[in-house]
Amino acid sequence: MKTQPNYKPQRMKLFSLFLITLLLLLITHTQNSFAAPPADSIRTGENNLNIRQSTAAVEFEGKILFYVRGITSFPAEERAQLITERLKNIAENDSINTGSLRVEELEDRSNILAGDDFVVSILDTDAEIEGLDRQLLAEIIKTNIAKAINSYRYERSSSVLLKKVLLAAGATVLLLILLFLFNRISRRLDNLLQARLKSRIEGFETQSYHLIQAKQLWTALRGLIKSIKIIFIALLIFLYLEFVLRSFPLTKPIADELFSLILAPLGSLAMGFVAALPNIFFLIVLFIVIRYLIKLIKLFFTGVNQGTISFANFDSEWALPTFKIVRFLIIILAVVVAYPYIPGSDSEAFKGISVILGIMFSIGSSSFISNIIAGYSLTYRRAF
């Protein structure tokens, strides 16, 4: 009797060998995961750190003195604001002379001091912004700070403020005189226009068989003149406020805000108009082409209507209705082509208004369109 071979020990050996191999692979993978990153990854981390570093301008009295660099824990904007506050405190302290500004060189930075008061530290990273040596940049910044402080104190001195008050008073008197003269001139101009033009406008109404209403034309002309007056007066007042507010240090920020508040929208409109000029030219060319194409098609269908052009199984009575259908389709096609070139067509407001108008037209014109289709149906079936 033969005994069956026992495969159980062999299976156990294979299973043990598999477990040992798996354990070795896990240990190797764990060591690789905790190993030091390659040089490329370290370099990438340094680049990310440089990206996080930002720069900001140190401004004093609306002038940029220099730029500083920040880090993640101390952003450049906060550092620049802190330096500006220090400069303002030093400028308001008349006991600190700008001649006492000095540069103290250390191993990793250049400190600018006003006597014993600390002003700012110039680091090597700050010098990298300008591409200069740190010591040279510190001397330049010290000179700029001295000029800014002297200008700050000069603008607020009693003699300068007195001169500016006198100039503001003179500007006020000049504004009142100009407004008074403009009011007198505008009244005389109104009387002159009423004496010479009003009778001629009434004559136009008689010659045009009352198609032109003299009263409406005269009202429009006076409205135009009144608008010009208001624009001129507003311009005078704006120039006056700009001059007076900009004359005094405390009101300079208000003048800058007023200037940007009024002229910034006008500048945006002008830049938008310039940017839209190619689209406007395309719309003009499209309008001219469509207009003359419609005239050419009208000339063709007029010939069909008069019998000079004839087609088999096409009555001359259908010419003008067919022309109206073709003209409508051409206009719709032109609108579809012109839509992307209309200034502001890509804005959400324009799209919303277009959708609302489309819904209103589709709801309110259903019976109107059905009557048109019924009328054309009767025309082409020659019911009359």
- State how far Cα 30 lies from the chain centre: 54
Phi and psi angles of residue 123, each rounded to the nearest 5 degrees, phi first: -100, 170
Supply the pLDDT for residue 204: 62
Supply the pLDDT for residue 374: 80
Supply the pLDDT for residue 173: 94
Mean pLDDT, each 10-residue run in order, the chain (384 residues):
46 51 50 42 35 74 87 86 90 87 89 88 87 89 91 89 92 92 86 71 59 67 84 88 86 79 76 84 92 91 82 79 89 90 79 80 74 77 68
Burial class (CB in 10 A: 0-12, 13-18, 19+), 316: middle
- Strand 63-69 with 55-60, pairing: antiparallel
The SS3 of residue 285 is: helix
Supply the pLDDT for residue 42: 31
Supply the pLDDT for residue 40: 36
Burial class (CB in 10 A: 0-12, 13-18, 19+), 27: exposed
125 CB-near residues (< 8 Å, 6+ apart): 53, 69
Tokens standing for residue 10: 């062999």
For residue 93, the tally of other CB atoms under 10 A from its CB is 12
Supply the pLDDT for residue 317: 80
Supply the pLDDT for residue 263: 72
Tokens standing for residue 120: 């700012």
297 CB-near residues (< 8 Å, 6+ apart): 323, 326, 327, 330
Q: Is residue 214 within 8 Å of residue 202, measured between CB atoms?
A: yes
For tokens 């300008």, the residue is 130
Supply the pLDDT for residue 210: 53
Q: pLDDT tens digits for 206-262?
A: 655 555 566 677 777 778 888 888 888 888 988 898 889 888 888 887 887 777 777
Which ranges of the chain does DSSP label H, i.e. alpha helix? Answer: 8-33, 39-52, 76-92, 124-130, 134-155, 158-196, 198-207, 214-247, 252-306, 319-338, 348-364, 366-380
Under DSSP, the state recorded for 282 is H
Provide the whole-model pTM: 0.52
Q: Is residue 55 within 8 Å of residue 68, measured between CB atoms?
A: yes
Supply the pLDDT for residue 215: 67
Q: Is residue 201 within 8 Å of residue 217, measured between CB atoms?
A: yes
Q: Quote the CA–CA distance of 140 and 59 in Å, as a whole number.
A: 15
Q: Name the residue ranges covered by the structural domains of the chain.
A: 51-155, 158-255, 275-380
- Strand 101-105 with 63-69, pairing: unpaired
Q: Quote the CA–CA distance of 357 and 350 in Å, as a whole number.
A: 11
Q: Quote the CA–CA distance of 60 and 208 in Å, as a whole number.
A: 67
